[in-house]
Amino acid sequence: MMATVFNWQLGREMDYRFEEAHPQRQFAAVFNINRCIACQTCSLACKSTWTFSRGQEFVWWNNVETKPYGGYPHHWDVKLLKLLEDANPGGQAWNGSQRADRQPYGVYNGQTIFEAAAGIGKENALGYLPSDLEWTAPNLYEDTAKGPPGARNEMHPEGTQLPEHNTWFFYLQRICNHCTYPGCLAACPRNAIYKRPEDGIVLIDQERCRGYRKCVEQCPYKKSMYRPNTRVAEKCVACYPRVEGSDPLTGGLPMETRCVATCVGKIRLQGLVRIEDGDWAEDRNNPLYYLVRVERVALPLYPQFGTEPNIYYIPPRWVPRPYLRQMFGPGVDEAIDRYTKPSRELLAVLQLFRVSQTIVFRYEIEEGEKIPGTEMYNDTIIGFDRDGNEIVRVSVLEPFHVRPQKYQNSI
Ligand code: SF4
Ligand code: SF4
């Protein structure tokens, strides 16, 4: 018997295995796809922290894949979308015009992985178990572009020009979404998976797990992974000791995860959002709340799956919109418009990405002068920690230093 829960990303109630329950705060992050250079520093930072041991050779809790062809495990999203489509042919549609505060993307009228499973007599969520081969090459199709329809390995004859490129690819950065309604948690027959009440981080109890791999099968994002030598499942732990503030570097304050803190492209911003009545509590000057709920420039990945994922993406501006809409829902056009011509406030908030390892809970903006020859203002954004103390101050215009002549050609 399924319970009824509210999923704000879908703008409606949906079926889920357990009664609605929410943490006080939710671990969340925004990834700006436009800036990623696929250096894989995040992947290696994660691996060298958590998954460097025997039995974890093919385990990448953080991975960066090239879309549209790449995926880890191979074609994970295409396979899931096909399962959903087979269960409910032609039904995966949104009504993007039905928008309101608690339904910022409108209403999803299709089926989620939970509803589709119930419809065809499957277990708790629709899914499949990837083969060993599908986990072996985390970066297959790296930098492989999509050219003209129906032609392989060809550039589009009309070249490339914004707003949408004819020949295109982009990098998709992926970690566990620490979903509000996790597929992995719903799937587990041992109740070994739990969502922490203090920060919404989803963990697997290694003592309870018996390695049935139901979570591997029913996580739609394929972020729960089986370790053959210990015979239990493992997944991203959101660097919970850092988020708890037990790393001495931040003096007891919540700290960003390793993949976020090491990001070379400065594409990642992570934080904790306050939850009230099952939804994000209004917190206008929390950078994540602002980016996701006020400016709506960052969107969930495949929200139609129904797990209410908590990693949000600023979509890549050069990619054909139909592809992006199936991936991020109907908010894509608005998000790209706002990112392409950012408001004064958005431009300031974008400066907060990767400037502090201590989590920013609130920001303030000090207005600056207009930058000559542009429409931009040299505002300064100030970030505050959990306790309200200033931790960072950064301006729109980057400081410019000229190296003195005497140091030229010296090392
Ligand atoms: S470290 Fe940042 S820029 Fe490099 S691959 Fe990861 S997300 Fe992209
Ligand atoms: S992304 Fe997958 S593993 Fe992570 S919480 Fe969601 S369903 Fe579970």
Minimum-distance ligand to the CA of 263?
A: 1
From ligand 1's centre to the CA of 65, what distance in Å?
A: 11
Residue that has been written with the tokens 């995860």 in this structure: 257
- pLDDT tens per residue, range 26-68: 999 999 999 999 999 999 999 999 999 999 999 999 999 999 9
Apex 240 CA angle, 206 and 242, nearest 5:
145
Which tokens in the block code for residue 220? 């739609």
Which of 66-75, 151-160, 345-354 is the least confident region?
A: 151-160
pLDDT digits (tens, 9 = 90+) for 195-251: 999 999 999 999 999 999 999 999 999 999 999 999 999 999 999 999 999 999 989
Ligand with an atom nearest the CA of residue 46: 1
pLDDT of 364 higher than 80: yes
Give the pTM. Answer: 0.96
Q: Which ligand is nearest to the Cα of residue 196, counting in written order?
A: 2
Q: Give, for 288, the enclosing helix (H) or strand (E).
A: helix 287-289
Which of 24, 56, 42 minimizes the C-alpha distance to 239?
Answer: 42
Give the DSSP letter of residue 75: T
Q: What's the CA-to-centroid distance between 31 and ligand 1, angstroms?
A: 9
| Ligand 2 center–CA 292 separation, angstroms | 20
Of 107, 108, 88, nearest to 98 by C-alpha is 107
Structure confidence by residue, pLDDT tens digits, 191-210: 999 999 999 999 999 999 99
| Residue 398: Cβ-neighbour burial (10 angstroms; 0-12, 13-18, 19+) | exposed
Check whether 173 has a pLDDT greater than 90: yes
Q: What is the pLDDT of residues 256-281, one digit of tens each?
A: 999 999 999 999 999 999 999 989 99
Measured in angstroms, how far is the CA atom of residue 48 from the centroid of ligand 1? 15
For position 352, what pLDDT does the model report? Answer: 97
- Both tokens of 262, joined, read 């090491």
Is the Cβ–Cβ distance between 321 and 168 less than 8 Å? no
Atom of ligand 1 lying closest to residue 37 CA: 3
27, 114, 184, best to mutate for ligand 2 pocket (most atoms within 8 Å of CB): 184
Name the token pair of 182: 């996790």
Q: Is 41 in the pocket of ligand 1 (CB under 6 A)?
A: yes
H helix intervals, 39-100: 41-50, 76-87
Q: How far is the CA of 283 from the centre of ligand 2 (A)?
A: 25
Q: Is 44 in the pocket of ligand 1 (CB under 6 A)?
A: no
Identify the band that residue 411 occupies on the pLDDT scale cut at 50, 70 and 90: low
Cβ contact 243:196 at 8 Å = no
3-class secondary structure, 56: coil
For the chain, the residue count is 411
| Lining residues, ligand 2, CB within 6 Å | 176-179, 182-184, 202, 219, 221, 223-224, 235, 307
Distance 51 CA to ligand 2 centre (A): 17
| 3-class DSSP state of 241 | helix
Q: What is the pLDDT of residues 111-148, one digit of tens each?
A: 999 999 998 888 899 999 999 999 999 999 999 999 88
Residues 357/330, Cβ–Cβ less than 8 Å = no
What atom of ligand 1 comes closest to residue 45's alpha carbon? 1
Residue 230: which H helix or E strand, with range?
Answer: none
Residue 407 — pLDDT band, cuts 50, 70, 90?
confident
Band the pLDDT of 393: cuts 50, 70, 90.
very high
CB atoms within 10 A of CB 211: 15
Nearest CA to ligand 1 atom 1: 263
Both structure tokens of 351: 């400066």
The answer, yes or no, to whether the previous bond of 68 is cis (omega within 30 of 0) is yes
400: three-class secondary structure by DSSP: coil
Mean pLDDT of the chain: 95
